[in-house]
């Protein structure tokens, strides 16, 4: 006949033969215990999170394949880092710091969706996402962290698939996050003061000329838009 698919939403590592999974799998003649065990193995890293799971069963052989859906890597990074969003300008702002164990944890969560063939390659993919979000890894920029991975700095942690971080390390990361946030706020105040000074000095000038001067002074685009919002009618007729 072909294959049949069962979709279910389960808590990571806590699948059981109870509804909704058991009753849906029963008629397919598959070994429910094996399916549940495999699902729990694949979703163990998602403890406390609801995970979409797809079980594909071959009608004839009763062999099964399990596909685990996951949130985007960026969402998992934000969860691990305890932040609501990434940096508005990742090149100049750093919003949080993650340990390599946390990167490995995310890589394992996303293993079915990543392109890398080895865990080390998958770890590099996650670090690449950190780079686009302004998230540090082991206290250095994501770009530098990628070099450290290539140099073998984290080979032991990756080989052992370490995902645990101590309470003391978590406390240090939280303090680092606060320090980074304070830096962003202080830098923002500096940019605001500088931008307002430029705008005041160019009073009466065309907006385009003022914006050009602000860009020349390397004022972030978000602050320029805040102080010099686009004219509502600029977009023309709707």
Provide the percentage of residues in the chain whose pLDDT is more than 90: 67
Of 114, 92, 32, nearest in space to 218 by CA: 92
Provide the pLDDT for residue 231. 62
**What's the mean pLDDT in 88-94?**
88
Radius of gyration of the chain, Cα coordinates, nearest whole angstrom: 24
pTM above 0.85, yes or no: no
Q: Is the pLDDT of residue 238 over 50?
A: no
For residue 174, the number of C-alpha atoms closer than 13 Å in the C-beta half-sphere is 7
On the question of pLDDT at 81 being above 80, the answer is yes
Handedness of CA 37, 40, 44, 47 (dihedral sign): negative
Single out the residue of 71, 42, 87, 60 nearest to residue 4, CA to CA.
60
Range with the poorest average pLDDT among 44-58, 104-118, 152-166, 211-225 = 44-58
Greater model confidence, 130 or 19: 130
**What confidence score (pLDDT) does residue 220 get?**
87
Domains assigned to the chain: 3-68 (3.30.1550.10), 73-165 (1.10.10.250), 182-235 (no CATH)
Q: 51-60, 71-80, 101-110, 229-238: lowest mean pLDDT where?
A: 229-238
């Amino acid at each position: 006949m072909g294959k049949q698919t069962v979709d279910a939403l389960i808590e990571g590592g806590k699948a059981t033969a109870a509804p909704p999974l058991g009753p849906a799998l029963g008629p397919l003649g598959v070994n429910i215990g094996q399916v549940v065990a495999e699902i729990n193995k694949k979703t163990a890293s998602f403890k406390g999170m609801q995970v979409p799971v797809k079980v594909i069963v071959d009608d004839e052989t009763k062999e099964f394949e399990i596909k685990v859906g996951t949130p985007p890597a960026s969402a998992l990074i934000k969860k691990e880092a305890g932040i609501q969003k990434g940096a508005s300008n990742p090149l100049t702002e750093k919003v949080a710091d993650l340990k390599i164990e946390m990167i490995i944890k995310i890589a394992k969560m996303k293993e079915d969706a990543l392109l890398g063939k080895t865990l080390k390659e998958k770890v590099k993919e996650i670090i690449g996402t950190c780079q686009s979000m302004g998230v540090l890894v082991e206290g250095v920029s994501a770009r530098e962290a990628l070099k450290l991975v290539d140099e073998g700095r984290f080979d032991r942690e990756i080989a052992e698939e370490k995902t645990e971080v101590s309470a003391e390390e978590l406390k240090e990361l939280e303090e680092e996050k606060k320090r980074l946030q304070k830096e962003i706020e202080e830098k923002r105040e500096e940019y605001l003061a500088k931008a307002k000074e430029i705008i005041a000095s160019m009073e009466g000038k065309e907006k385009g000329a003022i914006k050009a001067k602000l860009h020349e002074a390397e004022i972030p685009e978000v602050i320029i838009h805040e102080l010099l919002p686009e004219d509502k009618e600029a977009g023309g007729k709707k």
